[in-house]
Amino acid sequence: MTPVLRARGLNVDIGGRRVLDAVDLDLRAGELLVLVGPNGAGKSTLLSVLTGDRLPTSGSVEMDGSPLSSWPVADRARRRSVLTQSNEVSFPFRVEDVVRMGRAPWRRRPEAERDGEIVSEAMTAGEVAPFHERPVTALSGGERARVAFARARAQQGRIELLDEPTASLDIRHQHRVLARTRDRVRQGGAAVVVLHDLNLAAAYADRIALLERGRLAAVGPPAAVLDPAVLTRVYRHPIDLLTGADGSLWVVAGTDATDDLEDGDLTA
């Protein structure tokens, strides 16, 4: 089966520094793929290349078997939904109006007849319906993050590309956002999600891609990627892995940092 997204040989240079280095990655239909790694590993840069918002220095990205660059912008917007880290709204639009902005790619198309229904469902998914009349500028950071998630969900892309959708959220809403994303994936979609919380990645990912200094250190099911020795090296911090009686995986960080090690001591 052709991957819904296929990246080959991705290199990205920014300011004379190689931020992504020879990255090959596939996203399959029905899969939730989580990108993890320390700060500066290249997670957000990789996601921006997969969305088409950033051009790689070299390499290619295909969506549904065709070069991503060959897709008209409007068609691309209808095929994949994007949630970036920067989703601030500066004007006091109502919450419902912000969520409705996600329907813009479907304007003047038959699908627009369902805008009201889809916006309502998206607000329910983000748990923002109770304050749909409030100006978004009056919301807390976590509430704004949920509005941004609802807006991306209203876009109805079968491929979801979400950059740290759980940032600023409390525990309940972190799990709600990821559970809603996983439900849509199970209905025939696909998703790439950037996360910092390794336990959330273990709980929700079908596969995890672990990035280290712009390269893929490991890709595979959570049990294969969340190797204590590899995580300790990549994160420069002692990390262990526990397995629950139900087979769940729990990542546990130690208290002694490895700051005394030089960069060269931590390379593979």
Q: Which two tokens stand for residue 160?
A: 């979801």
CA 107, 152, 182 angle in degrees (round to 5)?
125
Q: Determine the average pLDDT of the residues in 33-55.
A: 96
As beta bridge partners, residue 83 has 162
Q: Which pLDDT value is given to residue 132? A: 96
Domain 5-266 has CATH 3.40.50.300: yes
As beta bridge partners, residue 14 has 17
260 pLDDT exceeds 60? no
104 pLDDT exceeds 70? yes
- What confidence category does residue 263 fall into, taking pLDDT thresholds of 50, 70 and 90? very low
Determine contact, residues 197/166, Cβ cutoff 8 Å.
yes
Domain ranges across the chain: 5-266
Choice between 268 and 38, residue whose per-residue pLDDT is larger? 38
Q: Which pLDDT value is given to residue 46? A: 98
Q: Which pLDDT value is given to residue 28? A: 96
Determine contact, residues 150/123, Cβ cutoff 8 Å.
yes
Of 122-131, 156-165, 253-262, give the lowest mean pLDDT range. Answer: 253-262
Instruction: Note the pLDDT tens digit of each residue in 61-79.
Output: 999 999 999 999 999 999 9
- What confidence category does residue 259 fall into, taking pLDDT thresholds of 50, 70 and 90? low
Q: Which pLDDT value is given to residue 176? A: 97
105 vs 74: CA distance, rounded Å: 6
- In this structure, what DSSP letter does residue 87 have? -
Determine contact, residues 42/20, Cβ cutoff 8 Å.
yes
Residue type, 262: E
As beta bridge partners, residue 17 has 14
CB within 8 Å of 162: residues ≥ 6 apart: 82, 83, 149, 152, 181, 191, 192, 193, 194
The residue whose two tokens read 């969506």 is 63
261 pLDDT exceeds 80? no
Q: Which pLDDT value is given to residue 47? A: 97
Instruction: Note the pLDDT tens digit of each residue in 188-231.
Output: 999 999 999 999 999 999 999 999 999 999 999 999 999 999 99
Determine contact, residues 240/232, Cβ cutoff 8 Å.
no
Q: Which pLDDT value is given to residue 236? A: 95
